[in-house]
Amino acid sequence: MRYITRWITLIVFLFTFALSADPVSADVGPKPSMEFTFVQGFKGEPLQITSGVLLQCEEADCRDAKPLPERGPQRFTCEAMQCSALAYGFSDYNQLEITFSDGITRKSNIFPKGQFNSKYKVTIREQDLLVVEQFNPFDIMALPWFCLGFACITVILIITLIIMIVRRSKKKS
């Protein structure tokens, strides 16, 4: 029985060690993101986005605004009626500056970075843009559920391994 206990302890130790090892890597893990969906808030010819910039600000009035720099996967891109941003980290305050097919460049209100994966609804008005965050409860809950599932699978595997070892030792006796 001591022999089995030592093997189980060794296997659990090695399994725990393998899970806790933190390999060094340059660019891993999820990065915060922003998704913007545009809707036209006035009557007239439907507009499309021709170009856009996401301004990053440290001050609440955005007088220190700078475009989000493009570095590796970090970037801001736009299509016909939506834009998205992926970054290593966003500033406390943000503002959109979008040029549309009517030739007008519209600026948005200043908005804070919300959730890790934020979704925003942007209303196109005649002279400006209105950005409103769309709350996503699953963004907050996804990581804990993932961790719980991983923990359950790990426990099931360890229990199965212990049962197999115990059965084999009884067959040998």
Distance CA 108, CA 123 (A): 9
pTM of the model: 0.64
| pLDDT score for 29 | 73
| pLDDT score for 22 | 56
| pLDDT score for 173 | 65
Amino acid at 44: G
Axis crossing angle, helix 137-172 with helix 2-20, rounded to the nearest 10: 150
CA dihedral angle for residue 12, residue 23, residue 30, residue 158, rounded to 10 degrees: -10
Could you state, in order of their start, the residue ranges of all structural domains in the chain?
2-15+138-172, 33-136
Alpha-carbon torsion (145, 147, 150, 152), positive or negative: negative
| pLDDT score for 18 | 66
Distance CA 51, CA 47 (A): 12
| pLDDT score for 168 | 85
Amino acid at 45: E
Mean pLDDT per 10-residue section of the chain, whose length is 173 residues:
73 69 60 93 92 95 93 92 93 95 95 88 95 75 69 89 87 73
| pLDDT score for 152 | 84
Phi first, then psi, for residue 147 (nearest 5°) are -65, -40
Architecture of domain 33-136: Sandwich (2.60)
* Burial label, 98 (beta-carbon count in 10 A; 0-12, 13-18, 19+): buried
Distance CA 122, CA 126 (A): 13
